Structure 1
Amino acid sequence: MIDVFGMALKDYQNGQYTEDIKTFSSLDEEDVIPVPYLFRTFDEMPKIEQKALELARGNVLDIGAGAGSHSLYLQNKGLKVTALDNSEGAISVCKARGVESTVKNSILNYSEENFDTLLLLMNGVGLAGKLKNLSAFLQHLASLLQPNGQILLDSSDIVYMFEQDDDGGYWIPDDGSYYGEVEFEMEYKGHKSKPFDWVYVDINTLQNACESNGLNCELILSGEHYDYLAKLTLK
């Protein structure tokens, strides 16, 4: 399987940046992920990410680390950080940029160590894929926590992407699936990824899922665009 995301990161790292990653989803036809954005500094990050990095403490697992921007910031602050990503290219870029501890794996297959902070930024909860997987996903994350550990994650309520009626309600398709479930494909320099499932979870749905899985869920910050940062801890 072609590591489309990793290819783009490696090109940028090696000074061969000429185009961005195109995304195609079941929600909108085409969008882009600007590759330089994945290499952003703390000052260039949205408030939600900055807040999460300020709250991170102890031994940190940066899940879906990408180019390692969050890991590097925390490492430079003196924290012990492990950057985890399923992309070979992402991990090689993390190493090239100076991240000291990296793991190439998917989070669901990882169980080597316990952490004080699990970081899932850029809608990291999306890795659950579908809402029906959220409970198992949260349980697995909880199993990686130290007793007083925390999970810091952000997501969005994508209800705004649906049409509104005159009463201010939203026209959400009634096909039995959760409206935050999206199928994505990525394309870079003519190479396409396989389609993959991704889920955006609204805060109420997340809080209910946490409640039924023995986790506290605290809303830390709401962003400007239906996005939010939440902190999850063991009950």
Structure 2
Amino acid sequence: MNKDILGKAVLDYQNGNYFEDIKTFSSLEEEDVIPVPYLFRVYKTMPDLEKKALKLCKGNIMDIGCGAGSHSLYLQKKGFNVTALDNSPGAVETCKQRGIDQVILADILDVKNQKYDTLLMLMNGIGIVGKLNEIDAFFTHLKSLLKPKGQILLDSSDIIYMFDEDEDGGYWIPDGQEYYGEVSFIMEYKGQKSEPLPWLYIDYNTLQRAAIANNLTCELVYEGEHYDYLAKLTLLGK
């Protein structure tokens, strides 16, 4: 098993060795493809949701799960003090080669004693929580990284539409699943597969309840056309 499928793919692209995209297989029994060039998109080709998030960024920024670094690179060029963070060695090396000044190889939960004005989590950035029952501990940690008037900008999607609807308007959720937005992914690239990765898609109402329970305000700042949304979280009373 190769744990850094994404990193290998983006580093290959950065070094001119691109001829294959990333395949994904999910517990929703759907096979999909991540086009590697898309991870290197420039601002003008980014979705409106991402453009909105980047416009809301302020101060000292950490781009959590930065991937190939497209968001960090844009913010750096705009003059922001931005740190790109990822737990993928290949992604971190790609960011360095692309000219991003501050890059950290780490899991966000291992970052300590730092304070930021903006914590940016795009491309379903909240997905790294994995399981809904881990969100309280995750928010507690993120709050420790926020300046008093800091903000968390994150996007996700409500994937209830992917489940079959019954005659009463309810949905058929597989047995044993605590929350319908909990998905497991496997990525494949050049014949190598990753270990299963737990990934969370969270509907806005559930996110808002979790935020409030953790003394965070939660504002819906953008809704996309495909059940996706952008939210801004801030420390309550700040």
**Structure-1-length-normalised TM-score:** 0.97
- SS of alignment partner, residue 172 of structure 1: coil
Kept in 2, the 8 Å contact 1:23–1:184? The answer is yes
User: 2-side partners of 1:216 and 1:141: how far apart?
Assistant: 14
Q: Secondary structure, in 3 states, of the residue corresponding to 1:228?
A: strand
The alpha carbon displacement at 1:139 in A equals 1.0
CA deviations on 1:40-62 (whole Å, 9 max, x unpaired) are 01111111111000000000000
Q: Alignment identity in percent?
A: 64
Shift, 1:162, TM fit: 0.6
Alignment of 1:36-51 (within 5 A): 36-51=37-52
Let me know the Cα RMSD of the aligned residues.
1.1
Given that 1:2 and 1:191 are in contact with CA atoms closer than 8 Å, whether structure 2 keeps it comes out as no
Unmatched segments (≥5 aa) in structure 1: none
Task: Spell out, residue by residue over 1:146-196, the C-alpha distance to the aligned partner (whole angstroms, 9 max, x if none).
Answer: 000000000000001011234544322353510000011111001111111
C-alpha separation between the residues in 2 aligned to 1:122 and 1:66? 10
Map of 2:126 onto structure 1 = 125
More moved, 41-50 vs 149-158: 41-50
- Kept after mapping to 2: 8 A contact 1:142/1:234: yes
* Alignment correspondent of 2:154: 153
- 2:221 partner amino acid: I
Aligned to 1:86: 87
Distance 1:56 1:91 in 2: 21
1:1-235 equivalences under 5 Å are: 1-235=2-236
**Residues in 2 aligned to 1:143 and 1:156: alpha-carbon distance in whole angstroms:** 26
What amino acid sits opposite 1:7 in the alignment? K
1:40-96 residue CA offsets vs partner (Å, 9 max, x unmatched): 011111111110000000000000000000000000110000000000000000010
Question: SS of 1:147's equivalent?
Answer: strand
Conserved 8 A contact 1:115-1:145: yes
| 2:109 alignment partner, SS class | helix
- Shift in Å at residue 30 of structure 1? 1.3
SS of the residue 2:205 aligns to = helix
Alpha-carbon distance between aligned partners in 1 of 2:215 and 2:170, rounded to the nearest angstrom: 32
Q: What is the rounded CA distance, in whole Å, between the counterparts of 1:103 and 1:155 in structure 2?
A: 24
Structure 2 unmatched ranges of 5 or more: none
Other structure's SS at 1:82 match = strand
Give the length in aligned residue pairs.
235
Whether contact under 8 Å (1:21, 1:33) holds in the other structure is yes
Instruction: Give 2:85's aligned amino acid.
Output: L
Letter in 1 for 2:93: S
Please say if residues 62 and 81 of structure 1, whose CA atoms lie closer than 8 Å, have aligned partners that are also in contact. yes
